[in-house]
Amino acid sequence: MKKVLFLLFMAAISFPNGFACTNLLVGKAASTDGSTLVSYSADSYALYGELYHWPAKTYTKDEMLKVYEWDTGKYLGEIKQAAQTYNVVGNTNEHQLTIAETTFGGREELVDPAGIIDYGSLIYITLQRAKNAKEAIKVMTDLVNEYGYASSGESFSIADPNEIWVLEMIGKGKDRKGAVWAAVRIPDDCISAHANQSRIQQFPLNDTKNCVYSKDVISFAKEKGYYSGKDADFSFAKAYNPLDFGGQRFCEARVWSFFNRYNKDMAKFVTYAQGKTQDPMPLYIKPDRKLSLSDVQAMMRDHYEDTPLDGRYDAGAGPFESPYRWAPLEWKSDSVKYCNERPISTQQTGFVFVSQMRSWLPNAIGGVLWFGVDDAAMTVFTPMYCSITETPECYRIGNGDLYTFSWTSGFWIHNWVSNMVYNKYNYMYPEVQKVQQELEGKFISQQAEIEAKAKQLYAESPDKTIAFLTAYSTEEAQFAFDRWKKLGEFLTIKYMDGVVRKEKDGQFIRNEHGGPSSPQRVGYPQNYYDKVAKETGDKYKIH
């Protein structure tokens, strides 16, 4: 059954490699409660949002695992199956290990067409085989060395309750099996991020506690002509993913937005984010204050608000100050090239999460994947514990797909709502925020009580705890789904046909005869009317 699920999963989704996905990382001494936190926005117009699950299982020594390419579903080959695999829920496992990624691509000639392990398979196979971050790095690098790496350049976030690492990897090209890579530990009191641009510059060559790397990561770059200086000055990013305008404006700008919000000194890097200067930002920084789970969730909803990259108030935002821009990112006017901003929160997201990992709790209780589907700004982060043995119906694999609408699918219900809101953003989005705050506030406020009960059960039997948390996660996901569906119904009625129907506390106001009251005709903002009048002259003038 596991192999069937793996095939369905790989065949069902596809990530483009262009400017997709964002990871934010928070060390345990940089978080308010001592958690390590890693977020992931899985961004692709071809990705259907579901919560994947592999149960723990034992295998015989002769069993093999078929590997299918993450992007296409193409069969790549077989590898030896592990004797024991661990329970995996989305991008975390029963030991609270979390792995996420962003694709940086890098040098095209370094893709190995004969490789068997692509980056998506590498994540989910490793989650089934590793217990902590250091072990995961070894599993990942051993796998690509043995079977070949089938993808382009990747940045991986690898975290457990005590450590967070960034691993960057790229293949060696045709007829050169394996990969070159470097992994750097993020200090406990720091935050980091990556978003489709390689971020590891110089790294310590003699500090195995905080940095490990392939033995040929520098010599291979020299052999290929990517670098010719001293080993101590070697930059992984400059050698394997040279910076260009897109790498800054579409990718590093997202990292800058996170850093800028939590460290006042990062404001000076705005010109780097805009692609005007080239001195890179550090891999990690110390924040001005500690970050909470809610802070990271809020950051995943960022559109550069209140920064020089904020796009809500120019002509591209339309009359209702939308921060969204439809693809493609680049466009022309009179043969001059322009761009749209690419913020952290984006319409093409399939699923998003913030993984919370806590060392002071049993693993079954300590790991929570706060999971949502669709655009981070338009979703609800619901608590999925790392030990659960079933996934909720609204996130279930096979409940709809990109070409099959399902009224019981969280992905479709959230997209139904978000696509109502996008084009009437400034007066509809507050309705979304109100329900987000209601639901997420509920989940966070009851977390201590739920976990206290889970700990009591754990003293009796870990299996009782797992059953309890599975039921709780399922119930809360369904609760959030039902509430979001009600929100969609409410928004459809209230904002239908470009008017606003009057309501109070969620109840629509009727006239004295019990019929519908006259709606408010909101029209457009005055500044938009002024633009229309200026551009059209006397065309619409009333004489």
**Pick from 65, 89, 66: nearest CA to 76:** 66
Task: Verify that 142 and 242 share a domain, yes or no.
Answer: yes
pLDDT at 7 (0 to 100): 32
Task: Verify that 232 and 114 share a domain, yes or no.
Answer: yes
DSSP class of residue 344? S
Task: Verify that 521 and 382 share a domain, yes or no.
Answer: no
**Pick from 199, 220, 106, 198: nearest CA to 152:** 106
- Burial of 526 by CB count in 10 Å (0-12 exposed, 13-18 middle, 19+ buried)? exposed
Cα gap 173→218, rounded to integer Å:
16
pLDDT at 4 (0 to 100): 31
Identify whether 103 is part of a domain.
yes
pTM, two decimals, is: 0.94
Identify whether 542 is part of a domain.
no
Structure tokens at 87: 């329970």
Cα gap 408→510, rounded to integer Å:
31
Cα gap 395→398, rounded to integer Å:
9
| Region of residue 412 (left: phi > 0; alpha: psi -120 to 50; beta: else) | alpha
pLDDT at 19 (0 to 100): 64
Residue type, 526: Q
Helix (H, G, I), strand (E, B) or coil at 320: coil
- Burial of 527 by CB count in 10 Å (0-12 exposed, 13-18 middle, 19+ buried)? exposed
Task: Verify that 194 and 322 share a domain, yes or no.
Answer: yes
| Region of residue 103 (left: phi > 0; alpha: psi -120 to 50; beta: else) | beta
Task: Verify that 149 and 271 share a domain, yes or no.
Answer: yes
Identify whether 411 is part of a domain.
yes
Helix (H, G, I), strand (E, B) or coil at 387: coil
Identify whether 92 is part of a domain.
yes
Task: Verify that 234 and 326 share a domain, yes or no.
Answer: yes
| Other Cβ atoms within 10 Å of 465 Cβ, number | 23
Identify whether 541 is part of a domain.
no
Task: Verify that 519 and 429 share a domain, yes or no.
Answer: no
Identify whether 7 is part of a domain.
no
CA distances from 218 to 24, 205, 481 (A): 27, 11, 50
Cα gap 170→239, rounded to integer Å:
11
Which helix (H) or strand (E) segment holds residue 164: the answer is strand 164-171
User: In terms of residue numbers, what domain contains 389?
Assistant: 22-508
Cα gap 158→140, rounded to integer Å:
11
Cα gap 227→426, rounded to integer Å:
49
Burial readout 469-494 (b: 16 or more C-beta within 10 A, e: otherwise): bbebbbebbbbbbeebbebbebbeeb
Task: Verify that 263 and 388 share a domain, yes or no.
Answer: yes
Task: Verify that 191 and 205 share a domain, yes or no.
Answer: yes
Taking the C-alpha atoms of 496, 491, 426 and 24 in order, what is their torsion angle to the nearest 10 degrees?
Answer: -140
According to DSSP, the residues that pair with 100 across neighbouring strands are: 157
Task: Verify that 420 and 367 share a domain, yes or no.
Answer: yes
Task: Verify that 35 and 62 share a domain, yes or no.
Answer: yes
Identify whether 229 is part of a domain.
yes
pLDDT at 1 (0 to 100): 34
pLDDT at 6 (0 to 100): 33
CB distance 227 to 240 below 8 Å: no
Task: Verify that 396 and 530 share a domain, yes or no.
Answer: no
CB distance 206 to 177 below 8 Å: no
Q: How many domains does one find in the chain?
A: 2
Residue 144 CA from chain centroid, whole number: 24
pLDDT at 71 (0 to 100): 77
Burial readout 381-394 (b: 16 or more C-beta within 10 A, e: otherwise): bbbbbbbbeebbeb
Cα gap 201→483, rounded to integer Å:
46
Which position has the token pair 């010109």? 271
Q: For each of the chain's 543 residues, which pLDDT tens digit applies?
A: 333 333 333 333 333 445 689 999 999 999 999 999 999 999 999 999 999 999 999 999 999 999 999 878 899 999 999 999 999 999 999 999 999 999 999 999 999 999 999 999 999 999 999 999 999 999 999 999 999 999 999 999 999 999 999 999 999 999 999 999 999 999 999 999 999 999 999 999 999 999 999 999 999 999 999 999 999 999 999 999 999 999 999 999 999 999 999 999 999 999 999 999 999 999 999 999 999 999 999 999 999 999 999 999 999 999 999 999 999 999 999 999 999 999 999 999 999 999 999 999 999 999 999 999 999 999 999 999 999 999 999 999 999 999 999 999 999 999 999 999 999 999 999 999 999 999 999 999 999 999 999 999 999 999 999 999 999 999 999 999 999 999 999 999 999 999 999 999 989 999 999 889 999 998 999 999 999 999 999 999 999
According to DSSP, the residues that pair with 507 across neighbouring strands are: 504
| Other Cβ atoms within 10 Å of 225 Cβ, number | 8
According to DSSP, the residues that pair with 404 across neighbouring strands are: 401
Cα gap 395→473, rounded to integer Å:
11
Structure tokens at 448: 């201590």
Structure tokens at 147: 């079977």
Which position has the token pair 């322009």? 338
Identify whether 8 is part of a domain.
no
How big is the CA angle at 440 (ends 255 and 449), to the nearest 5 degrees?
120
Cα gap 337→122, rounded to integer Å:
37
Q: Residue count of the chain, please give it.
A: 543
pLDDT at 541 (0 to 100): 93
CB distance 169 to 180 below 8 Å: yes
